[in-house]
Structure formats: structure tokens, C-alpha cells
Amino acid sequence: MCGIVGYVGPKSTLDVLLGGLRRLEYRGYDSAGVSVIDPVEGLLTRKKAGKLDALISEVTEHPLPISHIGIGHTRWATHGAPTDGNAHPHLGGPHQKLALIHNGIIENFAELKAELTAAGTRFSSETDTEVAAHLIAREFENTGDLPTAFASVVNRLHGAFTILVIHEDAPDVVLAARRNAPLVVGLGDGENFLGSDVAAFVEHTKRAISVGQDQIVTLRRDSVEIHTFAGDKVTPEEFVVDWDASAASKGGWSSFMAKEIADQPQAVADTLMGRLSSSGTVTLTEIDGLSKADIASLDRIMIVACGTASYAGDIAKYAIEKWARVPVQVELSHEFRYRDPIITPNTLVVAISQSGETMDTLMATRYAAERGAKVLAICNTQGATLARESDAVIYTHAGPEVAVASTKALVAQITAGYLLALFMAQQRDTLSSAAAGELGRELLTMPAKVSTVLERLEAVATLGRDMADAKSVLFLGRNVGFPVAMEGALKLKELAYIHAEGFAAGELKHGPIALIETGQPVIVIVPSPRDSETLHPKVISNIQEIRARGAIVIAIAEDGDQLVGDFAEHVIFVPQAEPMFAPLLTVIPLQRFALELSTAKGLDVDQPRNLAKSVTVE
Ligand code: AGP
């Protein structure tokens, strides 16, 4: 996820671009850049790795002339480490007269890059993005018309992209295209704007247009034309932005956490993108370093992680053991290396980390590598220390997660765990291709089901606000619902600073049920009644046991569960899904419950006390 700004008009372009990038910095901050067109000097570009301040220093040291057309980008790296060379804008053509910025993933960049390389194009970055810059520049040289060249190329791109282009030989127009990534237009008087969201230009205008899927924008000072990729004219619908620049840094949301909860369908979809075919086959080129023979000879997988990431590991354990039949143990990173674990050359260590900088997890993987284990990272931060030190990396594509309490990174980690489990099952032939394909196709439906859950959160939000005075909340789950219960408890601890504890529901009678007294809130993740494991009746019995002792029960249950409503005071329903995938849905009401209860207590949900986004010390 990256920040994108485009401008054409009478203002100083650089001021507009940098101001917009500042408010979009939450979308990505590992490098930034701008390109402008000067009537005399032509296309000029400044770009720098690091946060936006590094770019500002660069343009201070190497000033740009006043210009009235330009594009700007702040990056969250997906392909290519965060370096000056990989920063956007990328330049196209032999004379570098074209500048291009991109948010998303061009899935078919490898074949396009091969085509260009065969034609003699030389690349200066490791990114997928640069391919589009060269293709459009070459097409412009062939056609002499930038809009035509632009449309021709964007029709060839697969994946997710918002792309903006300017060209020195067409100095009055910014072209933009949108497929599976956000793009909005800002409408001014004698000026017009583009952005990945309205935060890019809301200080200049509140009149906006949302660009639709597979649409192209031709933006000039006094005109905005929108066409489909096929060339049909589109009559856009204008809307007025109803919040001001101060809220802009969070994209209009009350908190980064609220925004990131809402980003979860995209986080799941982007993590699946390019790795799961429509037939349900998983491709993980990132772990080509682990051969089929390596995977077949694995005697054990040890998952090391901390906090929320460790719960993603717990869920991955269920999936890998069930489908790939490899023994898996999940270890808290900080415990792992102090217990003298048994590690053999056939042990695979999987390290899960959003930041890739958690020192406990880094030390655990270094310990394992020193003892001969291969290390596979599941990481959300391109180029992070963990990624650089591992034998292979599966990047999650949740985009930058700013709130300390992890939400979208978690669902992306869980998604990556499913992909790994299915891939290993394919490699080890432990699932029939029919069964693996069916699971893969079901996984493809999860982003839409996550979106459905987001539309049903008002009731649980109200419960969170109503329970603001609660001194303790318990969470129960079974099977893959157990890690979800643990995660729900962690969210409440770290956001509302109250006692919260997750239990395996079956553990209740072995002690924890003594905690139940009248009025004790208990959130129960209820397994699917359709699941062959018949866990459902057991959890219903658990609900009856705690209700009999005065608990207030909030159940998270599956659509169509006819029984749960007879026993729980409150039921939050989520869509039916493959039971193994249910955590992607059942965790979301728990996130919103914790956010609302914390907000009702007047606490800072984005920066809870005593916590840091990345624990870089042991
Ligand atoms: C989760 O909400 C917390 N922020 C914390 O438990 C976090 O998941 C843990 O510190 C691991 O961080 P990492 O994923 O960056 O390694």
C-alpha cells in the first residue's frame, strides 16, 4: 500500500505533492519521491529511501524549479528493497522523459520484463513498477499519443495497480489508471488533483470523484476525463469530502486501528494475490529455495513468534498438521532458545513477524540457523532484518500497520499460514488435488467474507461501549477458535488495560470455571455446527455451564447456527466458511470490541501505554 499524489494547476507543484505525501505517510514510509515537468528543464525527479523527511532534505539540497504539473509517491515496498533506486517515480524510455508511480502489485511483470529486456531495455531497479514505465514510454514513441499509449499498456497489466504517469513531451496532462487499488480525483478551479485517497488533496478541495475499477483518468488543469480500459467514456459521480485535513492522516478514520480493521479484506486479498490461482492451486515462488525434496523430508516445523504473531502461528499449526501432515510446534520466541530445543537439518523454523525487527524472534531464528535449521520468514515489512537473515520469505501484503495493536497484519499472517499449509500439502501429496483445489477456491472467497463481517460490527461495538466498566473479560475457544480467544484477550489487555484471559473451552472444568461469577462477561468463539468434528455441541455445553453460574455470554457464531441463540445473551454472526478459515472472520468482532471498550474509557487505541509497535530489544 503506497501513498500517491498527482497535480496540475497554478500552485507550486512541489508544495502540493509534499503536503499530500505528508498526509499519506501512513500508507507507506520506506521511501518517497516526486517528479515535475519544468517548461525549460523538462522532467525532473527527486527520490530517496527513508521517510518523507529524507526526500524533503533531498529537494532542499537539490532544489526543483517552480512547476505546475507533477506526481509524488511514498512507498511501502513489495518488490525490491527500500532503496533510492527502488523508490518511485520510475523513469521510462531511453531518454527518461516519462515518470511513473504505482501502488499495488503487477503480477505479470516478469514476462513483461523479459519482453523488454529482449528488446534491449536496461532496468535500473528491482521493482515490478519500472516495467510499466518502459512499456508506456515505448508505446508513446510508437503512437505519439500519450493517452493512447497509456491505455494500450494498462490493458496488458495483471494484478493490482493505481498508476500515474507524466511525460516531458505532453506537459499538460497527468494520466492515471485504477485496477484493484484505490484512486480518487480532486476537483479544483483551474486545477485538479489525484490521490490514493482524499487525504492527498483535502486541504485544497473537498470536491472529489471516486475512480472505478478498470478506469483511466486524463487530468488537465481545466478538464477531467474518465474512460474505461476499453475506451468507453464514463460519467463520473462527484462527492464532497466530509472531514478535514486534520483527520486526513488517518484517511478520515477516528484512529489508525479503526482504519486498519477496515483494511483487512484488502490485506487478505493482497496476500493471496499472485499466489493462488482461480482453480485453487498455490504457488509460492518465494520459497523456491526449499525444494520438494526438502519439504518432503521435513521431520518438524517449529514456528517462532511473539504476541499476536504467535497466535497466527497457532492457527498455522492446525492447518499444516491437518493438510501437510508435518508435526508443528509453536514456540514463543523468547522461550525457544533457552530450553535447548532439538533441531535437526530436517527442522524448518518458520518465523512470523509483522515488523521483522522483533529482537526475541530475531535471536530465536539466529539460534536455529546456527544449529542447522532452515528459516522461513512470514513478514510484513519488505527488507526487514528478519527477511534479510532468513533463507526464504513469504511477505504478507497488509501495507503499513501503524496502530500498535496488530489487526490487518494478523489476518495477513493467518492467510500466509494457510497458503504455506496448502503449498506443503501439494508438495507432499498429502491432499488430493481435488481437495486442495477446493480449499484454495474457498480461500479465495475469504476477502469478501471478511468484508461482510465488517458490515456487522455495530452490535459488538455497542457491547464494547456498554462494558467499559468491566474489570475482567474471559474468552473461550476450541480448536482454531482457541488461538482466536487468546488474541481477543490480548487485544483487550493491550487496549483497555483490564484483566482478560483466553482459554481452551475444554479447559474450563479443569480450573478456570472457578472464575465465573454473576455478571462475568465471557466471549465464546463457537465452532461451525456443520463441522464434522462435532465440537459445536461441546462448546454449547460450555456456554450452558458458565451461564448457569451467572456469566454474560457473547457468542461469535456462524450464520445458520440455530442453537447458540438459545443459550447466549448476545450472538454476533459471521458468514459460513471452511472451519479452518473461520479465524479470519471470528477475530474481527473481538478487535472491534476491544477498540470500542478502550475508546469508551478515553484511552489512546493507536498508542497504548507501555507498548511499542516493534519490540526491538529482548
Ligand atoms: C499485537 O497487537 C502486539 N502489538 C504484539 O503482541 C505484537 O504482535 C508482537 O510484539 C510481535 O510483533 P511482530 O509481529 O512485529 O514481531
**Does 249 have pLDDT greater than 70?**
no
Cβ pair 440, 422 in contact under 8 A: yes
Q: Quick one: pLDDT at residue 607?
A: 85
CA dihedral angle for residue 421, residue 536, residue 547, residue 519, rounded to 10 degrees:
20
Map out the domains of the chain as residue ranges: 3-247, 250-444, 455-603
Higher pLDDT, 238 or 449: 449
Domain spanning 3-247: which superfamily? Answer: Aminohydrolase, N-terminal nucleophile (Ntn) domain (3.60.20.10)
**Does 336 have pLDDT greater than 80?**
yes
Q: Which three-class secondary structure state does DSSP give residue 52?
A: helix
Angle between helices 446-454 and 264-272 in degrees, nearest 10: 170
**Does 539 have pLDDT greater than 80?**
yes
Please confirm, yes or no, whether 306 is among the known catalytic residues.
no
**Does 246 have pLDDT greater than 60?**
no
Q: Give me ligand 1 centre to Cα 398, in Å.
A: 14
Which cell goes with 254?
477516528
The residues, any chain, with a CB within 8 Å of residue 547's CB and separated by 6 or more, are 553, 567, 568
Task: Please name which of 243, 206, 182 lies closest in space to residue 28, comparing C-alpha atoms.
Answer: 182
Instruction: Report the residue among 336, 358, 617 best suited for mutation to probe ligand 1: largest number of ligand atoms under 8 A from its CB.
Output: 358
Task: Please name which of 340, 335, 342, 329 lies closest in space to residue 303, comparing C-alpha atoms.
Answer: 329
Ligand 1 pocket residue status of 591, Cβ below 6 Å: no
Please confirm, yes or no, whether 374 is among the known catalytic residues.
no
Which cell goes with 157?
497489466
Q: Which three-class secondary structure state does DSSP give residue 432?
A: coil
Domain spanning 455-603, CATH class: alpha beta
Q: What is the mean pLDDT of residues 544-555?
A: 96
**Does 24 have pLDDT greater than 90?**
no
Q: For 474-495, what is each residue's pLDDT tens digit? A: 999 999 999 999 999 999 999 9
Ligand 1 pocket residue status of 586, Cβ below 6 Å: no
Q: Which atom of ligand 1 is nearest to the CA of 308?
A: 8
Residue nearest to atom 3 of ligand 1 (CA): 405
- Helix, strand, coil shares, percent, the chain, to 5: 40, 25, 35
Least confident segment among 273-277, 365-369, 532-536, 614-618: 614-618
Q: Which three-class secondary structure state does DSSP give residue 453?
A: helix
Q: Quick one: pLDDT at residue 250?
A: 77
Q: Tell whether pTM > 0.85.
A: no
**Does 291 have pLDDT greater than 70?**
yes
Q: What is the mean pLDDT of residues 60-82?
A: 91
Instruction: Report the residue among 255, 261, 308 best suited for mutation to probe ligand 1: largest number of ligand atoms under 8 A from its CB.
Output: 308
Which cell goes with 515?
472464575
Q: Which atom of ligand 1 is nearest to the CA of 491?
A: 2
SS (H, E, C) 315-365: HHHHHHHHHHCCCEEEEEHHHHCCCCCCCCCCEEEEEEECCCCCHHHHHHH
Task: Please name which of 582, 579, 505, 510 lies closest in space to residue 543, comparing C-alpha atoms.
Answer: 505
CATH topology agreement for domains 3-247 and 250-444: no
Higher pLDDT, 104 or 348: 348
Residue 328 phi/psi, 5-degree rounding, is: -125, 135
Q: Which residues of 466-494 are buried (b: 16+ CB within 10 A; e: fewer)?
A: ebbebeebbbbbbbbbbbbbbbbbbbbbb
Sheet of 3-8: strand order equals: 42-49, 31-38, 69-75, 3-8, 192-195, 184-187, 207-210, 238-240
Ligand 1 pocket residue status of 355, Cβ below 6 Å: yes
Q: For 121-130, what is each residue's pLDDT tens digit? A: 999 998 999 9
Q: Quick one: pLDDT at residue 82?
A: 82
Angle between helices 583-600 and 481-496 in degrees, nearest 10: 20
**Does 295 have pLDDT greater than 70?**
yes
Ligand 1 pocket residue status of 308, Cβ below 6 Å: yes
Q: Quick one: pLDDT at residue 76?
A: 79
Q: What is the mean pLDDT of residues 327-333?
A: 98
Q: Give me ligand 1 centre to Cα 614, in Å.
A: 7
**Does 248 have pLDDT greater than 60?**
no
**Does 577 have pLDDT greater than 80?**
yes
Which residues, in sequence order, are bridge partners of residue 233? Answer: 227
Cβ pair 525, 477 in contact under 8 A: yes
Ligand 1 pocket residue status of 306, Cβ below 6 Å: yes
Which of the four pLDDT bands, split at 50, 70 and 90, describes residue 180?
A: confident
- Residue recorded with cell 521511501: 31
Q: Quick one: pLDDT at residue 1?
A: 66
Which of the four pLDDT bands, split at 50, 70 and 90, describes residue 186?
A: very high
**Does 27 have pLDDT greater than 80?**
no
Q: Please name the residue ranges forming H helices in 24-128.
A: 52-61, 109-118
Residue 602, Cβ density class (10 Å: 0-12 exposed, 13-18 middle, ≥19 buried): exposed
The mean pLDDT value of the chain amounts to: 93
Ligand 1 pocket residue status of 358, Cβ below 6 Å: yes
The residues, any chain, with a CB within 8 Å of residue 460's CB and separated by 6 or more, are 554, 570, 572, 589, 592, 593, 596
Q: Quick one: pLDDT at residue 247?
A: 55
Domain spanning 250-444: which superfamily? Answer: Glucose-6-phosphate isomerase like protein; domain 1 (3.40.50.10490)
Which of the four pLDDT bands, split at 50, 70 and 90, describes residue 533?
A: low
**Does 616 have pLDDT greater than 80?**
no
Q: What is the mean pLDDT of residues 550-572?
A: 97
The whole-angstrom distance between residue 127's C-alpha and the CA centroid of its chain comes to 19
Ligand 1 pocket residue status of 404, Cβ below 6 Å: yes
Q: What's the CA gap between 125 and 341, in Å, rounded? A: 41
Beta strands in 89-198 (DSSP E): 90-92, 98-106, 159-167, 170-179, 184-187, 192-195
Instruction: Report the residue among 332, 406, 491, 616 best suited for mutation to probe ligand 1: largest number of ligand atoms under 8 A from its CB.
Output: 406
Q: Quick one: pLDDT at residue 315?
A: 98
Q: Which atom of ligand 1 is nearest to the CA of 405?
A: 2
